[in-house]
């Protein structure tokens, strides 16, 4: 086996632009889906269309110091490829893992880089999708055709992060940069840095900045829950010590993380105060026994209503203990020439302001969709299990989990799509559609997810752009419940009334 280059050679591409399946995106979802297709349905022809010049999606876009996962890689990694490093991984380690999957399975030649999809049009007469593309320089790219679209384009805009329009931004003489736009040219040595935000990105970048900066201030509108834990798995270490093979280690440690996560998820709903007490105790191990949680580290929501920010080895709290990092809870009134004037009247001086303010949701990678000449408005579409859509044939969207690792759903849906494609072949069907049962046809279309279920700002801001759920039945929504879906999705009856074939 040879390790592939970040951008594999493309000269072996087939002359034809017709495929059975087109996979959109070469991030962790697209690469995992390609693996499943190739190994489970080896007769299918396919290509992966990727707008960027590199693999990795999220793990290529983000380049701020210390960028790393906040899920453990035993569950964020695939079911089929053992993770052998510490549970929390850097972006580079994740990209290396993905490159290995491509090389080990001869998948690298399937990727068409620099191929931005602009429009996908379904023709019922032809039983095909036509996929129009643009090259990186903006010129028209090849047109592809496929019977099935496997959408792995993620959920946010890789080019335009969310940056609020604060008053006075133009007056600021320092450097204001969004975390998603950060690159190596930013020199923060000896500087006063303010990081706006307190989510996973802020928690990741702050300890690394603090090592070279003069001082780092974490400016948050409201506090976040943090989960501090050593970046190692005792179970993995022990299994390796006694000679267990990596496949088995991966399976056992994955089950261990899933079990613990399930317990945490249940307990966070049933006994949120006790869970918070335990999270505080873990933080004290790094921040010191007298660490003060009021007002900057006592959130207003219950644990798990937003993703818990994991802090491996408590690194951010060690920097707070050492006086290198200060947390402030306030709102920005306006920018000044030297920094930020807060609503409280205080002023923060800053040489550099990093906005860790999150992303803008982007439905289906900004691609325009048409079915038989009619434009698809996703916000009016009912979803089947958060993966297929009424009125949009032969298409699946891989939208992962928020509270558990995203990738768990890549494996689950990978099995499902491959099974569905085989089923269609056995029936001689060329088209599959989602049918809403008559009993549900009068149900109102509801937002993708309830506000009190999971409510990070980027979802709340753009919830109206997302497809809709039909009531509360698990078949007609994205449940965000891995444990339920791990049982339900493999058991889906493909001859059930919700599928129609032709
Ligand atoms: C900084 C950061 C850290 C995160 N950490 C975690 C974590 O620890 N655990 C977790 O579960 N989740 C995490 N997430 C969420 C994360 O986005 C997903 O887990 C996962 O990486 C998404 O993978 P994906 O392949 O579905 O999408 P992406 O990583 O977004 O990749 C999508 C790919 O599709 C391509 N694409 C999009 N539109 C088009 C188009 N029109 N034409 C062609 N190509 C297109 C993009 O260029 C991109 O390469 C994190 C997100 C961020 C931003």
CA of 164 to the centre of ligand 1 (A): 22
193 occurs within a structural domain: yes
* Residues 178 and 321 occupy one common structural domain: yes
**Over 70: is that where the pLDDT of 308 sits?**
yes
* Residues 147 and 230 occupy one common structural domain: no
211 occurs within a structural domain: yes
What is residue 455's predicted lDDT score, i.e. its pLDDT? 67
Least confident of 135-149, 153-167, 455-469: 455-469
Give CA separation, 490 vs 81, 154, 279, 390, in Å: 20, 23, 35, 21
Mean pLDDT score, 417-421: 98
CA of 494 to the centre of ligand 1 (A): 29
Structure tokens at 334: 């306006």
> Which residue's alpha carbon is at the smallest distance from atom 38 of ligand 1?
365
Q: Which residue has the higher pLDDT, 387 or 462?
A: 387
Q: Ligand 1 pocket, 180 CB below 6 A?
A: no
Q: Ligand 1 pocket, 28 CB below 6 A?
A: yes
What is residue 12's predicted lDDT score, i.e. its pLDDT? 37
Q: Which residue has the higher pLDDT, 501 or 451?
A: 501
120 occurs within a structural domain: yes
Q: How many domains does the chain contain in total?
A: 2
What is residue 44's predicted lDDT score, i.e. its pLDDT? 98
CA of 49 to the centre of ligand 1 (A): 14
Q: Which of 355, 378, 408 is the last residue of a domain?
A: 355
User: Which residue of 58, 146, 197, 200 sits with most ligand 1 atoms within 8 Å of its CB, as the best mutation to test the pocket?
Assistant: 58
287 occurs within a structural domain: yes
CATH number for 482: 3.50.50.60
> Which residues form the domain of 308?
169-355
Q: What is the mean pLDDT of the chain?
A: 94
* Residues 322 and 453 occupy one common structural domain: no
Q: What percent of the chain has pLDDT over 90?
A: 87
**Over 50: is that where the pLDDT of 6 sits?**
no
**Over 50: is that where the pLDDT of 144 sits?**
yes
> Which residue's alpha carbon is at the smallest distance from atom 30 of ligand 1?
154
Q: Which of 355, 376, 394 is the last residue of a domain?
A: 355
> Which residue's alpha carbon is at the smallest distance from atom 39 of ligand 1?
365
* Residues 16 and 69 occupy one common structural domain: yes
102-135 b/e with 16+ CB inside 10 Å = b?
bbebebbbbbbbbbbbeebbbeeeeebbebbbbe
d(CA 323, CA 334): 26
* Residues 195 and 264 occupy one common structural domain: yes
* Residues 218 and 334 occupy one common structural domain: yes
Query: pLDDT tens digits, residue range 12-50?
Result: 344 459 999 999 999 999 999 999 999 999 999 999 999
Q: Coil, strand, or helix at residue 173?
A: coil
d(CA 326, CA 34): 45
Q: Coil, strand, or helix at residue 8?
A: coil
* Residues 310 and 446 occupy one common structural domain: no
Mean pLDDT score, 134-163: 96
390 occurs within a structural domain: yes
**Which atom of ligand 1 lies closest to the CA of 398?**
26
**Over 80: is that where the pLDDT of 300 sits?**
yes
- Where residue 230 falls among pLDDT bands split at 50, 70, 90? very high
Q: Ligand 1 pocket, 29 CB below 6 A?
A: yes
* Residues 195 and 142 occupy one common structural domain: no
What is residue 10's predicted lDDT score, i.e. its pLDDT? 42
* Residues 211 and 350 occupy one common structural domain: yes
Least confident of 95-99, 327-331, 417-421, 450-454: 450-454
Q: Which residue has the higher pLDDT, 403 or 391?
A: 391
- Transcribe 48-113 into DSSP letters: EE-SSSSS-THHHH--STT-B-SS-HHHHS-TTS---S-SS-BHHHHHHHHHHHHHHTT-GGGEE-
Q: Which residue has the higher pLDDT, 61 or 269?
A: 61
Query: pLDDT tens digits, residue range 324-351?
Result: 999 999 999 999 999 999 999 999 999 9
What is residue 454's predicted lDDT score, i.e. its pLDDT? 66
* Residues 398 and 419 occupy one common structural domain: yes
> Which residue's alpha carbon is at the smallest distance from atom 15 of ligand 1?
406
164 occurs within a structural domain: no
Query: pLDDT tens digits, residue range 249-275?
Result: 999 999 999 999 999 989 998 999 999
Q: Which residue has the higher pLDDT, 48 or 2?
A: 48
163 occurs within a structural domain: no
Query: pLDDT tens digits, residue range 483-499?
Result: 999 999 999 999 999 99
**Over 90: is that where the pLDDT of 442 sits?**
no
Q: Ligand 1 pocket, 57 CB below 6 A?
A: yes
* Residues 435 and 306 occupy one common structural domain: no
Q: Ligand 1 pocket, 49 CB below 6 A?
A: yes
Q: Which of 294, 323, 355 is the last residue of a domain?
A: 355
> Which residue's alpha carbon is at the smallest distance from atom 52 of ligand 1?
58
User: Which residue of 47, 49, 52, 57 sits with most ligand 1 atoms within 8 Å of its CB, as the best mutation to test the pocket?
Assistant: 57
User: Which residue of 154, 310, 312 sits with most ligand 1 atoms within 8 Å of its CB, as the best mutation to test the pocket?
Assistant: 154
CB atoms within 10 A of CB 484: 11
374 occurs within a structural domain: yes
On whether the CB atoms of residues 326 and 320 are closer than 8 A, the answer is yes
Q: Could you tell me the pTM of the whole model?
A: 0.94
On whether the CB atoms of residues 170 and 186 are closer than 8 A, the answer is no
What is residue 382's predicted lDDT score, i.e. its pLDDT? 95
CA dihedral 196, 201, 207, 209 (to 10 degrees): -60
Q: Which of 165, 174, 125, 499 is nearest to 336 (CA)?
A: 174
Q: Label residue 428 exposed, middle or buried (CB < 10 Å: 0-12, 13-18, 19+).
A: exposed
* Residues 375 and 486 occupy one common structural domain: yes
């Amino acid at each position: 086996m040879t390790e592939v280059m970040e951008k594999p050679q493309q000269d072996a591409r087939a002359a034809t632009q017709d495929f059975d399946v087109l996979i959109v995106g070469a991030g962790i979802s697209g690469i995992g889906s390609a693996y499943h297709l190739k190994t489970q349905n080896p007769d299918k022809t396919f290509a992966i269309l990727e707008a960027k010049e590199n693999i990795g999606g999220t793990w290529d876009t983000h380049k701020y110091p210390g960028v790393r996962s906040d899920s453990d890689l035993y569950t964020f990694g695939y079911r089929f490829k053992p993770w052998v490093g510490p549970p929390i991984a850097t972006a580079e380690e994740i990209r290396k893992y993905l490159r290995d999957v491509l090389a080990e399975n001869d998948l690298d030649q399937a990727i068409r880089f620099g191929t931005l999809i602009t429009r996908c049009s379904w023709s019922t007469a032809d039983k095909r999708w036509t996929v129009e593309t643009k090259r990186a320089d903006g010129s028209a790219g090849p047109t592809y055709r496929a019977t099935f679209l496997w959408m792995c384009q993620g959920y946010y805009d890789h080019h335009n992060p969310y940056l609020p329009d604060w008053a006075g931004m133009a007056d600021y003489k320092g450097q204001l940069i969004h975390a998603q736009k950060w690159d190596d040219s930013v020199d923060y040595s000896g500087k006063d840095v303010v990081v706006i935000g307190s989510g996973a990105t802020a928690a990741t970048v702050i300890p690394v900045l603090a090592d070279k900066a003069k001082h780092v201030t974490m400016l948050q509108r409201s506090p976040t829950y943090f989960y501090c834990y050593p970046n190692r798995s005792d179970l993995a270490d022990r299994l390796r010590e006694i000679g267990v093979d990596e496949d088995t280690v991966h399976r056992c440690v994955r089950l261990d993380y899933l079990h613990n996560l399930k317990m945490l998820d249940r307990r966070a709903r049933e006994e949120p105060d006790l869970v918070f007490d335990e999270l505080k105790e873990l933080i004290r191990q790094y921040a010191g026994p007298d660490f003060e949680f009021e007002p900057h580290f006592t959130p207003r929501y219950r644990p798990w209503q937003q993703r818990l920010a994991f802090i491996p080895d408590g690194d951010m709290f060690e920097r707070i203990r050492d006086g290198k990092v200060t947390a402030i809870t306030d709102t920005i009134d306006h920018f000044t020439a030297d920094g930020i004037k807060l609503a409280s009247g205080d002023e923060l001086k800053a040489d550099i302001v990093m906005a860790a303010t999150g992303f803008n949701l982007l439905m289906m990678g900004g691609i325009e969709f048409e079915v038989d000449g009619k434009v698809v408005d996703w916000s009016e579409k009912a979803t089947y299990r958060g993966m297929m859509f009424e009125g949009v044939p032969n298409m699946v969207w891989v939208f992962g989990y928020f509270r558990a690792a995203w990738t768990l759903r890549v494996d689950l849906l990978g099995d499902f799509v491959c099974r569905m494609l085989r089923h269609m072949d056995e029936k001689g069907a060329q088209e599959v559609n989602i049918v809403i049962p008559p009993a549900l046809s009068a149900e109102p279309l509801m937002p993708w997810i309830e506000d009190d279920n999971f409510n990070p700002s980027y979802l709340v801001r753009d919830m109206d752009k997302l497809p809709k759920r039909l009531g509360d039945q698990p078949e007609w929504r994205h449940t965000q419940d891995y444990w339920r879906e791990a049982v339900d999705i493999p058991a889906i009856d493909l001859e059930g009334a919700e599928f129609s074939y032709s």
